[in-house]
Structures are given as structure tokens and as C-alpha cells.
Structure 1
Amino acid sequence: MFTASAKMPGENNKEYSYRVIKEAIMTLKLKPGQSISEIELAEALQISRTPIREVMAKLREEHLVEVKPQVGTNISKINPLLIEEAAFVRVTLEREVFKYSCESFPEVELLELKKNVEMQELLIGKKGMERQFHDLDKQFHFTIFRGNNKENAWAAISRLSTHYNRIRLLSEMEHTFEDAILQHKNMIRIIENNKVEEVEAAIKQHIIEPIKLWEDLYNPGSLYADYFEYSYRPVVS
């Protein structure tokens, strides 16, 4: 099914299974639409079915698994409505937090952003680094929120972005992420030089424009067409 990572110190079986199964879904090791069973998951993780059953209920609430009576349990296909909702929330909140950053931003967090981008640049030209970039990308944006004492706002975005982040990872696997790194560097420049008037254009370039690349992924002829709940055209403003 998938290779599970080892338990982290202090993790109980429920915490472990939730972390590992959700990570497998978010990194597409468990593919959208794929059939899964509690028995197989318990065997893969070498734990009993009880915590797996509890985790399945939690993942169902997060729209990551679907339980169909008399059919079975599947990984949820990527839902366009959830993608568009997450994109709307992310654009709205990131725009405002970005503006705050131009007014005041801790030097230590600015240094953290620069270190993060340096690590991103080390991935350029290397195959199979999309997931590593994806993790660094999320950490980059979280650092901006943390620098403005808005960690809970980022947590809210993350909760809404499970379907959004899966299609983003697909896009990063099919297209280069070098443009995103350049955009991150530009965001640092904007913050460092208090260029609040450039925030709107930067957000549009970094969050809204990449959505246009997704059309190749969800078109009927795409290799990934079956990953989606149905073909759709995302809202891009």
C-alpha cells in the first residue's frame, strides 16, 4: 500500500496512524479515488484496527476519505469547490498579512525567510524534489504569518487547503517550481523594503496566476483526470 515512516517519540498509535495516513494522502502516495481498507492500513502500520477506525472518522470529517455503504472506503477525489474556497481564503488572508509585514516584520523572521529560500534553491535541477519544495514552501508562508503573530490564521488556511495542496503538489510535479522560488525572493524584497504598494501584484502572481496551470491536470485527456471529482474550470480573478 505504502511505506510507513517510524513512530515519533511519544506518539501513540492513534497519533501515529493519523500523521502517517494523512501524510500519505497529502503527498499522493495514497492516490485520489484509491480504495483502502482498515485491515490493510493496520497491517501496513503494524497496529490494531481500533485507532485506524478512529482516524478514518477524523479524515472523513476533513474531506480526505469517503465511506460508501456497501461499497467501501476511498481516498477522496480532489474537489473543485474545496479548491476554490481554499484559494479564496488564502488570497484574502495572505494579502492582509503581507501588508502587515511591510509595516513591521521581525528581523529574525526575515532571516528565516532568506534561509528557507536558500534551501529551496538547493533543490533546483534535482529530480523528485517536489515534495521537499512543497514542505519548504508551506514553511515559508507560515513564517510570514508567524512574524505577524497570526499562526492561528495560517492553521485555518491549512485546514481548508487539503484539496488545494494536493493539486498544487501535482502541478509542482508536472511543472518547474523555479518561478515560485523567484516569487518568494520578490516577496522578501517587498517586505524588506516596505513596498506595500507591490503586495497586490505579488499575491496575484504567486497564488492566482499558477491556478491557470492546473487546467492541463484536470482536462479529460490528462493522466490525472481520474484524480478529480469532475472536470471543471477554476475561478481565476
Structure 2
Amino acid sequence: MNNILRCGAIVMVGMLAMGAAQAQSGGIQGRWKVRSITSTTFSLDGKEKLKGPFAETPGEMYLTFAARSYVVEESGKRTTYAMRKSGTGYVLTRKAEEGAITIRLSRIRRTGNALRFTSTRYDAPRRERYVVQWVCEAAPGTEKPRAGLQGTRWQLVEIAYSDDKVVKPSENDVMTLEFLAEGRVGGRAAINRFTGGCTIGADRSLRFGPIASTRAAVPEGSIADTYLRELGTATSYLLRDGMLYLQLPLDTGVMKFRKLTQ
């Protein structure tokens, strides 16, 4: 059942992926809470039902869709997946200890604040096919695209990469980001100041640049160079629960910021 659940988590991500096509018209952007999962195991060729259907009601499981990023949250763990379009559906992939995981998404349907979709995962060694039906509802706490950015200031908490590497500034190594007048940003990278352009799309897409910074020598161990480099590559954003998340390209990582009130 753990395999089914993991498959489902990926699927959730995929569901959002699938929703990418619908998102431009107000489809499934945002954060979703999983209300129920119904899983069935078939033989690999699909001719024989081996187990199920089994219905589950997960605890705290969420899926977040922002532009081209897909994040699954379960039991305090955040996982990002890569997604590509395939025919009329989407394919989700992620590297795991047991090998690459591939999940296909289909039958996505949104009605008001409810979202339903189906995920399918194939397990060749076991000669089994896992089919999961998901029922989700819109989760509170997600701001609308572009809302609340202009005039806000943020401080970097960490940069979490998809290979589980996490980079955090020390207490005295402060990295900030401020959204100024329309199309401009500024901030601090350790003892240096920077400014630059910023383009924000209605689909939560985001582009910085060019970014200009002062060139004072930073203390040994500072992550200032890494911060500015990754900031310049960010592709999308998400506002949730007072935090700002910037997605790095190709699902390679996420920059997490906390909001500054002064």
C-alpha cells in the first residue's frame, strides 16, 4: 500500500501538471488538499484485477501547482517532480532509491473547489499496474497570482535542491528580496546590495534580470554568490502561509523566504 500511496503522491503532483493546460483559464492553480484515494491493483496487461478497490482518507496530504512546478506535501515532507506532456495527458517522473518512478495522469476534472483525477503507475518487475483515483479540494491559505508581492520584503530561509541538498545562510549572513515599483526588485546579499528587473506573469511565472550588485568581498562561508546566481534563474513563485517559494528551473530546487514586516 505504501507503493500505491507514493504513486498517488506523485500523481497528485501530476494532476496539477495536467492542470497546467487548464491553469491559464483558471483551472487548477494553487494548493489542494487530498480528501480521498481509491486504489486498485491490476495485472500488468490490465486483464485481471488483483487487489481492491481500497478507499483511504489521508491525513495531511497536499499538492501544490504553480506555473511549471509540482510539489507534494505529506507528513511534513515536500517532494518535487518533473512533468512532461504526453498525448492528451501528462507523465510524472522522479528518481528514487528503487529506480525511476513514472506515473501517468488522466481524466482530470474540476468542479468548483473540487478536483478529481486518475493516476496510473506500472511496476514491470512485479507485473502489476496501480490505478489510483484522487478526490481533492481547494486548500485555504494560497494567495491569488501576483497578489501581495509589490511592496513586500522577504528574507531567505533556505535553498532546498531536488537531490536533498539544503543550503542555509548563517544568522549573520542575511539574504533579502524586496519587490519595489512594478517591474523592479532590490535586496541584500550579505554585505552587498543588488537591484534588477522582474517580470511576473498571471500564471505565477516569474523572471529576474538583469541583476546588478555591489562587489564588496563577503565573509568566508557566505552563500551570497549562490543566492544571487539561483535568484537569477527562478522561473515561478508561490505565496502560502506567509512564505514565498521560488521555483528553480527544471524542478532542480526551491528557494524559501519568510516575510519581513519592517
Instruction: Classify the TM-score, shorter chain.
Output: under 0.3
TM-score, structure 1 length as denominator?
A: 0.24
TM-score, structure 2 length as denominator?
A: 0.23
Select the structure with the greater relative contact order (CA < 8 A; seq sep ≥ 6).
Answer: 1
